[in-house]
């Protein structure tokens, strides 16, 4: 892990291991985690910042899956593992339960589970991890970033999940699940029709990441491509 290099991955400096204590020593990222930026009443993120952060995260996971000599599965993507630097560039950290696959391996069985709400169905039920389980977690993270709702929010239950809530919102006014002031780029209340279309496109990407069948989920390079295209369309 200390040999991997990417602009959006927290650098693993070294490891510490003895009979009583095991740890990875990571570079310090000073501006807190995404969880703080999403839920602290003193902080807020614009639409552009949120999209930029999620592109940073997708780029890091794309590198872990496809850019190294063998696939690396993070296994625990969630807001508290996404760190911000002074320029609000996002870094993926905490590789404590990451799995290293061989080139021939597509999945691995593990007894070490990730975080409830973010785990893919096959991961939570059978302990099967693959690059597609990271894609599922990313989809949940993408929904959370643009709706401001945790997958473990008290409003969700066995009958209603974050995934189902977002999916069903497409039948009505999708803006009902988005906090308008947080997503407006000029600080005014209300979302333009153009911004609404971009938000719909982002949430559609998220839904394509969280399909029940792993092989039908988007690959991370496709996620990066789709989100970069949305960002390019928005910035003009």
Model confidence pLDDT, tens digit, residues 7-22: 999 998 888 889 999 8
Ramachandran area for residue 215 (φ above 0: left; ψ -120 to 50: alpha; else beta): alpha
> What are the distances in angstroms from CA 96 to CA 130, 138, 141, 216, 218?
16, 18, 19, 28, 25
Q: Alpha-carbon distance 168 to 153, whole Å?
A: 17
DSSP class of 88: -
Q: Which fold has domain 29-234?
A: Transferase(Phosphotransferase); domain 1 (1.10.510)
Residue 231 has pLDDT above 50, yes or no: yes
Catalytic residue among 33, 56, 76, 94: 76
DSSP class of 50: H
- Report field, pTM of the whole predicted structure over 0.75: yes
Task: Judge whether 76 counts as a catalytic residue.
Answer: yes
The rounded Cα 59 to chain-centroid distance in angstroms is 10
Beta-bridge mates of residue 61:
none
Are the beta carbons of 191 and 178 closer than 8 angstroms? yes
Model confidence pLDDT, tens digit, residues 2-57: 788 899 999 988 888 899 998 888 899 999 999 999 999 888 888 889 999 999 99
């Amino acid at each position: 892990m200390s040999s991997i290099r990417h602009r959006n991955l927290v650098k693993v400096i070294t490891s510490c291991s003895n009979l009583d204590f095991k740890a990875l020593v990571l570079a310090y990222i000073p501006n807190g985690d995404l969880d703080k930026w999403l839920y602290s009443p003193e902080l807020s993120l614009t639409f552009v910042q949120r999209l930029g952060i999620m592109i940073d995260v997708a780029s890091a996971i794309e590198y872990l899956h496809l850019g190294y000599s063998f696939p690396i599965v993070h296994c625990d993507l969630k807001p508290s593992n996404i760190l911000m630097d002074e320029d609000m560039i996002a870094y993926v950290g905490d590789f404590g339960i990451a799995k290293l696959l061989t080139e021939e391996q597509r999945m691995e069985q593990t007894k070490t589970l990730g975080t409830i709400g973010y785990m893919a169905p096959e991961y939570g039920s059978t302990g099967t991890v693959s690059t597609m389980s990271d894609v599922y977690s990313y989809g949940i993270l993408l929904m959370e970033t643009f709706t401001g709702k945790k997958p473990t929010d008290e409003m969700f239950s066995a009958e209603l999940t974050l995934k189902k809530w977002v999916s069903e919102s497409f039948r009505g006014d999708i803006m009902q699940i988005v906090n308008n002031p947080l997503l407006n780029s000029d600080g005014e209340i209300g979302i333009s029709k153009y911004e609404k279309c971009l938000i719909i496109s982002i949430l559609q990407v998220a839904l394509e990441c969280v399909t029940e069948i792993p092989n039908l989920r988007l690959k991370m390079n496709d996620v990066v491509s789709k989100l970069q295209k949305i960002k390019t369309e928005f910035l003009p």
